[in-house]
A and B are shown apart, each in its own frame.
Chain A
Amino acid sequence: MRVLVCVKRVPAPGAKINITDDGQSVDATNLGHTMSPHEECGLELAVQLVEAHGGESHVLTLGVTEADEQCRWAASIGINKATLIDVGTQGWDPQRTASAMTDAIRAIEEVDGGFDVLIFGNESADTGGFQVGIRVARALGRPMVNAIKGVNISAGIDGENTVLEAQRETDSGMEVYKLPMPCAIGVKEGITWPRYPTMRGRLASKKLAVDVAASDAAPGGQTMVRLNRPEEQVSETIILGEGAAAAPAVIELLKELGLWSEGTSKQEVGA
C-alpha cells in the first residue's frame, strides 16, 4: 500500500499568539515550529497502514525551506520518503496551494506509482481554510471525506485491499463511509496516538533525502490583507470565594442561570 500524508509547518504558540508589526504573519521569534495535531495523527496513521499492509509512506509539504524540519520529523517516526515544495513563504492561498500539491502528487506518482490513500489534516492549525485536501482530491478524481476519526481497510472480491472504511464522528456517534481506493481522507486528532521518535528513527531522519520541488501555480481568488487580534471582551473575573466555602456562591450562580434544581436528589439522578 502506498500512502501520502500532507502536513503544514506552523509556529507552536505559547499562551498568546503575537503578530508581526506589518500584520502579515504570526511573530514566530523565539517560537518553535510544529504541525497541526490532526496532521501528527495523520502521519501516525500512514505509518500504521504501511506496517499493517506493507508498502511505502510519503510526506508532502508546501512552504518555506525550513519545512524540511517537519519532513525529518515525519521520517523520525517512520515515514519513508519526503517532498518539500519550497515556495519561500507559508502564505499561499488555498487554491494555489492545492494546485501546487496536485502537481507534486502527479509527479511523485509518475515515478513511484499511484498512492492508494492520500491523508490530509481536517484543517491546518493556522489559516484553517478547510479545503486544500478536498481540492486536491477533486483535481485527482478521488473520493474524499473530511473529519475522519477511524479507518479500516478491507479486501475486495479480488483479495486486494480496495475499500477504505472511514468513520466520521458526529454529535451522537459515527457516520461510516466506504471509499473505493485510491481515495483521500481528512483526519482529526484522536484517529491515532502519535508515537515518539526512536533513536533509530532520529538517525534515519538525518539521512533522509528530502526531495525539493518548485511550483509555478497561479494565485487564487482569496488574498490576505492582514492579521488582527480580535477584540477580547475584557470582563473582570468575579471571584466567588476560596475552597469549599465558595460552594453556596456557586449554587447561587447556578440558580441564577437556571441550572440548579432543588428537587433533584442524588438518588433520583442515579436511578
Chain B
Amino acid sequence: MDIGFEYSARTLTVAPEGELDHHAAKPLMNAIGDRIDTYLPSQCVLDLKGLTFMDSSGIAVILKTYKRMKELGGQTWVENAGRQPMKVISMSGIERLVKIVY
C-alpha cells in the first residue's frame, strides 16, 4: 500500500492508497504511529480519497490513530471517504469518537 504523508501547521495528513484490509492494516498502523511519534502533531487527518476498498481493519486503524492522538491531547479527523469505506465507517459508530468530514 502506498501512503502519502504531509505535515504542516501541526497537522499530520495521512493519505493511504489502494485497498485497506487486514493485510495492509498493520504496516499502515506502524507507519502512522512512527509519524505521530516524530512530529507530535496536534491534529491527524486521515484522508481516504485514495482508498478503493476498506473493511473493518480500517476501523481498527482509525481507532488506533484516535487513541494515539488522544494520548497527545490531539484530534483525529477522517475525510473524503468513498461510498464503500463510508458504509463500513457508518456501521462502526466511530463517528462518536472521530470527526468524519464529507
Whether chains A and B associate is: no
Chain B residues within 8 Å of A, Cβ to Cβ? none
Chain A residues within 8 Å of B, Cβ to Cβ? none
